[in-house]
Amino acid sequence: MSQAYEKLLLEAYRLMLAAFGPLNWWPGDSPWEVMVGAILTQNTAWSNVEKAIINLKVHDMLDVSKMAATPIEQLAQLIRPSGYYKQKAKKLKALVSFFQREYGCDIDKMRKEELPGLRDKLLGVHGIGPETADSILLYALDKPVFVVDAYTKRISSRHGIIPESYNYYQTQEFFEMHIVPDVALYNEYHALIVYTGKEFCRPKPRCTGCPLERFNAEGGAKCT
């Protein structure tokens, strides 16, 4: 483990936490709601996901067996505000089947499973890719997995911490290599990155006021 990167990443965390945190993620009342939210938020603003989840709740559809019994077209209409609604309805159905088949809808049974295997099983479900799998592992199942998203890559590459060319797994390995595996820490770290990214690290950057401005100078890299 590189001491320098360890220190750098903890300092970035400290700065973001001082500015915004703690954020107490994931916004959801139950592990199942977290899993559903993880699908719905794919490439979508969370405000739109909230509308879809409210629809599900109002129709008493945030329930595994009821979701299973509901026609996919009806499910799709309920989640329409979250965008890509036909695809996401199919993905939710796949998640429901998986949760029923593998765990009998028992979240504790799922939580007891070991990491490499559990992750691979999630990745085998239609609609669950690396980020969705890791979000579920960390935020619904309390596994010490560092979640990488567009903001994670953008922020860390703009600050010169990782090369822009790093893919999901290279980025994840870097963070997990330099930050001690701790569920609460990984939880808050990812939340802070997303929050900071939303505010200050958009594709067309305007980084004034970013809590990592001081970090720029110290790290020798600019958020351009």
Partner DNA sequence: GACCAGGCACATC
Partner DNA sequence: GATGTGCATGGT
Residues forming the site for DNA (CB under 7 A): 25-27, 37-38, 41-48, 51, 80-81, 83-88, 125-133, 135, 139, 149-151, 167-168, 194, 197-198, 202-204
Residue 143 beta carbon to DNA: minimum distance, rounded to whole angstroms: 15
Q: Identify which of residues 14 and 198 has a Cβ nearer to DNA in the complex.
A: 198
Helices (H), 112-224: 115-123, 130-135, 150-158, 168-178, 183-200, 213-219
CA distance 207 to 138: 29
Residue 74 beta carbon to DNA: minimum distance, rounded to whole angstroms: 15
Residue 3 beta carbon to DNA: minimum distance, rounded to whole angstroms: 29
Residue 141 beta carbon to DNA: minimum distance, rounded to whole angstroms: 13
Residue-level length of the chain = 224
Q: Identify which of residues 7 and 202 has a Cβ nearer to DNA in the complex.
A: 202
Residue 10 beta carbon to DNA: minimum distance, rounded to whole angstroms: 22
CA distance 152 to 128: 19
In the chain, the amino acid numbered 57 is: K
Place of tokens 């067309």: 204
Q: Identify which of residues 54 and 177 has a Cβ nearer to DNA in the complex.
A: 54
CA distance 51 to 156: 31
CA distance 67 to 65: 5
Q: Identify which of residues 6 and 19 has a Cβ nearer to DNA in the complex.
A: 19
The closest alpha carbon to 133, from 95, 189, 103, belongs to 95
DSSP 113: S
Residue 206 beta carbon to DNA: minimum distance, rounded to whole angstroms: 11
- Angle at which helix 168-178 crosses helix 3-20, to 10 degrees, equals 90
Say if residue 47 is exposed, middle or buried (CB neighbours under 10 Å; 0-12, 13-18, 19+): exposed
Q: Identify which of residues 113 and 199 has a Cβ nearer to DNA in the complex.
A: 199
Q: Identify which of residues 101 and 204 has a Cβ nearer to DNA in the complex.
A: 204
